[in-house]
Structure 1
Amino acid sequence: MIILNRKQLTKREQLVMEILWNSEVDLSANDICILAGNVSIYTIQQVLQRLLKMNYVEVSGIGYNKTSITRKYKPAFSQADYITKNINDQTSYQLASNYIRFSEDISSLDELEELIKEKKKELKG
């Protein structure tokens, strides 16, 4: 899912999103607080509420934390989608060019080549 017109995140928002993007499981505010290190649970909860309002995260379910019920969160879109929408076309081109120049993974380059061929066909109509 590609998200259009997303604003840049604050440091705390970025921290929470990085934790969620890097997790293979959905996380509670307490889980995020533990992984964030020196950030209070109150701050994490405030950040999660802002991210929910901005549609950056979604409530994915309910979990249990010791004796209480807690919400579990997951990112609403991938880190790659976020980065793509927050860099300009020139930077995107430079990143792609550099990846191609310095990559030694033939299978990745083959996949990129196929994507380029498909996109060219799509644009030509």
Structure 2
Amino acid sequence: MTSKDSIGCEIWSVDGDFIEQVFPANRGAVSEFLASVGPDDSVSMVWNDGEDPCLMIALSEGRAIVTLILNAAFHTLVGSVEVGDVELVVGGQSILQPKRLTVSVDDAARLIGEIPDVEGMLQRHSWHRE
């Protein structure tokens, strides 16, 4: 389980390996970690797991799905006005996600720099409330 000072990470590689690790909740640590991940790997990161607020990031094929749980409500970061769906591998499973609800990996990493100001994060960015 992670805390407000750490981010838990799970990696599913294309060759079937599964790795779990925890690192500090700061943008530098996240950027360094992401630089070490293969482009075809599926990565899930969670800040403040099991708590409210909680930030979850799923990365696959250069795109990210960012979900913020705040006050028991789920919010997905809106990345663009693109129409249609994109197929991503999340948690080792293939899913279809609306393109507009995905962002670049760099944009997802930038959000880590805004932790723990999740109220501000909710106001500064566009979110789709589930």
So what's the TM-score if we normalise by structure 1? 0.23
Higher helix share: 1
* Larger RCO of the pair (alpha carbons < 8 Å, separation 6+): 1
Q: Which has the larger radius of gyration?
A: 1
